[in-house]
Amino acid sequence: MQPRDLARARAKLQAAVRAFFAGRGFEEVETPYLVPAPGMEPHIDAFESRYLPEDGGEGRPLWLHTSPEYAMKRLLADGFARIFQLARVFRNGEVSSSHNPEFTMLEFYRAGADYQGIMRDLEELVDHCARELLGGTRLMPGAATPPTWLQRSAGRASTTRGRGTPSTTSSFAPSSSASSPRSRRQVAPSTWSTGQRRWPRSPR
């Protein structure tokens, strides 16, 4: 698949995601990318920046968010019952065939839903997007690996994040990363599976 085709497929995927959530009463939100404190995850490192006032006053550190989770949970507390976001997020040191320091993450929340309900939402989202992009949800019989073009675009394909939230990654591989000591902390690429897994269903 050519880069132009991948760009169009990515745009179509994002449109499908937005249509899915709009049809279910979710609101799209956008939260700040620069935050006053990094996340609390011990194994995720944030990019640090610094705010410098124009008047020459004392600056202060800021960080590029590693996830919109905290800001979106504040919106939940403020009464937003169904929200989603396609956010650019940043994680320092994560570089591999399927991980980039900058990528797009889909984060969504539905107040009052249990974990099975969120898993069902995610399963239905993947089903919807597959039908919109590929016209179906079935893999080729006997296929042990994805098509070559899909392997090459693994950094752009949908992946799944913890707590029942999916993310999509984009291609970004800084040319200077090989010389950085941090870049040697590689993240193992995800594996491909053709097995079908269906989660238990619960009432909405």
Burial of 41-70, coded b for 16+ CB within 10 Å and e otherwise, reads: eeeebbbeeeeeeeeeeeeeebbbbbbbbe
Give the pLDDT confidence of 37-72 residue by residue, as tens digits.
988 888 899 999 999 998 888 899 999 999 999 999
pLDDT at 22 over 50: yes
Q: Who's near 21: CB < 8 A, 6+ residues apart?
A: 28, 82, 84, 108, 125
Q: Tens digit of pLDDT for each residue in 108-151?
A: 999 999 999 999 999 999 999 999 998 888 866 655 455 454 44
- Rounded Cα distance, 126 and 150, in Å: 16
Residues recorded for the chain:
204
What pTM value is reported for the model? 0.67
3-184 belongs to which CATH class? alpha beta
